[in-house]
Amino acid sequence: MEKRVVFRGRWLPVALIAPQIAIILVFFYWPAIQALVQSVFIQDAFGGRMEFVGLENFEVLFADELYLNSFRITAIFSVAVAAIGLVTSLALAYFADRAIRGALAFRTMLIIPYAVAPAIVGVLWMFLFNPTLGIVAHWLRGFGIDWNHVLDGDQAMILVIIAAVWKQISYNFIFFLAGLQSIPKSLIEAAALDGAGAWRTFRSVIFPLLSPTTFFLLVINVVYAFFDTFAIIDAATEGGPAKATEILVYKVFYDGFKALDIGSSAAQSVVLMAIVLVLTFVQFRFIERRVQY
């Protein structure tokens, strides 16, 4: 039977919940409302003059092919980061789970990158791939690849994807490993008795049982690629060259904080809010249904 605690008074529950409500109001609703308001004005940097322009900021945005291009870049970037990150970390977790000797050392090493700050990740990979000084760029030249992400947009995109995936792999790894360890050995042994090979066991037994973890990580990774990769991009490419790595969040930052165009920046955050709403809805409505708990 379910146990329920019932509060008698009216004020105790209110008092208990008030701090959380206050935090949500101050740190979420207030800025969100500000963004909504500012998105319908244009103003000078100092906020001295505001002009109500209705939806003009949005019209300008959607008529701007660079903004539309930023959507395309964000899509490529987040799909690549989520897909490559999940597949790689699942593979690593699968083998780390099977490792018998030195398992603890492997796991610890795989988890360490998560402790590195995103901006440092960006700088680290930028140095490795630096066209003239970087060691990786040097190796690539040995293979006949002329690496110059300062001018080549595709290479810059590959660089930020590698950096973003590398940073996130350890997080995914921990969850996948925990998921793998919670699968009862008896199921796997039963599959082996039925004559299933390693791949077949993985596909038909392990992967379906991992689906709640995978779904959770999918959500987290998409959110990560959308929002948390900002520092990596800022440190590695600053959105360049020629906007080749300017994802939506970076553009909000650039227009708001470097270009001081607060109206446009606010309009873009409103668009981002809408995207997050849609993404969350799609993920829980359509993908979660297929997940077997």
Backbone φ, ψ for residue 132 (5° rounding): -110, -30
Q: What angle do CA 86, 284, 200 make, to 5 degrees?
A: 45
> How near is the Cβ of 204 to other proteins at its closest, in Å?
25
> How near is the Cβ of 196 to other proteins at its closest, in Å?
29
Alpha helices, H only, the chain: 11-24, 30-38, 56-63, 65-98, 103-111, 118-128, 135-142, 153-181, 185-193, 198-201, 207-223, 230-236, 248-253, 262-282
For 19, 124, 133, 167, the CA distances from 137, given in Å and listed in that order, are 51, 13, 8, 20
141 binds other proteins (CB under 8 A): no
49 binds other proteins (CB under 8 A): yes
> How near is the Cβ of 170 to other proteins at its closest, in Å?
15
Q: Which parts of 226-265 interact with other proteins (CB under 8 A)?
A: 238, 240-243, 257-261
Strand 41-43 with 50-52, pairing: antiparallel
134 binds other proteins (CB under 8 A): no
Looking at residue 69, its amino acid is N
Q: How far apart are CA 197 and CA 14, in angstroms?
A: 57
**CB nearer to other proteins: pick between 80 and 220:** 220
> How near is the Cβ of 151 to other proteins at its closest, in Å?
5
Binding residue (CB under 8 A) for other proteins from 12, 16, 33, 51: 51
Binding residue (CB under 8 A) for other proteins from 79, 112, 151, 198: 151
> How near is the Cβ of 252 to other proteins at its closest, in Å?
14
**CB nearer to other proteins: pick between 176 and 191:** 176
Q: Which residues bind other proteins (CB under 8 A)?
A: 23, 27, 42-49, 51, 132, 150-153, 216, 238, 240-243, 257-261
